[in-house]
Amino acid sequence: MTFEEIKNLLTDKFGPDVILGEEPTGRQPALIIQPEAIAQVCLELRDNDKTWFDFLASLTGVDYGIEENIFGVVYHLASIPYKSSLTLKVRKYHDRNREELPSFPTVSEVWKTADWHEREAFDLVGIRFENHPDLRRILLPDDWEGYPLRKDYKVQEYYNGIKVD
């Protein structure tokens, strides 16, 4: 299916509000999806016999900057049978001064590999994935302070008595 056909398939199934925007040019055309609908959209793209995006190649958490206070997730989907790919993005504003983390629905029930990808985004960017089966740090120690890939991250001077460079 073409990019436009996938767009039409999603708007026919979920309504026109499911797609908030698009980035049709470049090497990886992307659809910007309503954050609350991402799991249902991914399930449809995986199970629909016209798209069959059976492989989540990667999932990345993104901090769009201190001025914007926008956090997002980028999903790179691949269809092995159809030899095609698609990029989906979700974004939302999040006040950095709040105790709670920015949050998006998990897609770990759609693709099992999302379990680890989402844990990495949680660990490094501080994005919470709602209903994730085991959301905890995966690369850093459990008592590590902060999220190293955030734009406002400040490296702690010492960790357990050891100087951090």
Instruction: Please give the helix or strand (H or E) that residue 38 lies within, else none.
Output: helix 38-47
pLDDT confidence bin for 114, thresholds 50/70/90: very high
Strand ranges for the chain from DSSP E: 19-23, 30-33, 55-63, 70-79, 84-93, 103-105, 128-130, 158-159, 162-163
State yes or no: pLDDT of 98 exceeds 90. Answer: no
Q: Which domains does the chain have, with CATH numbers?
A: 3-163 (3.30.460.80)
Q: Do residues 84 and 56 touch, judged by C-beta distance below 8 A? A: no
Buried b (16+ CB within 10 A) or exposed e, 37-66: bbbbbbebbbeeeebbbeebeebbbbbeee
pLDDT confidence bin for 11, thresholds 50/70/90: very high
- Comparing C-alpha atoms, which of 107, 99, 104 is closest to residue 76? 107
Residue 135 to residue 67: CA distance in whole angstroms: 28
Amino acid of residue 42: C
> Mind spelling out the 3-state secondary structure of 94-112?
CCCCCCCCCEEECCCCCCC
The DSSP symbol for 130 reads E
**Residue 108, pLDDT score:** 98
Reported as a single tens digit per residue, the pLDDT across 55-76 is 999 999 999 999 999 999 999 9
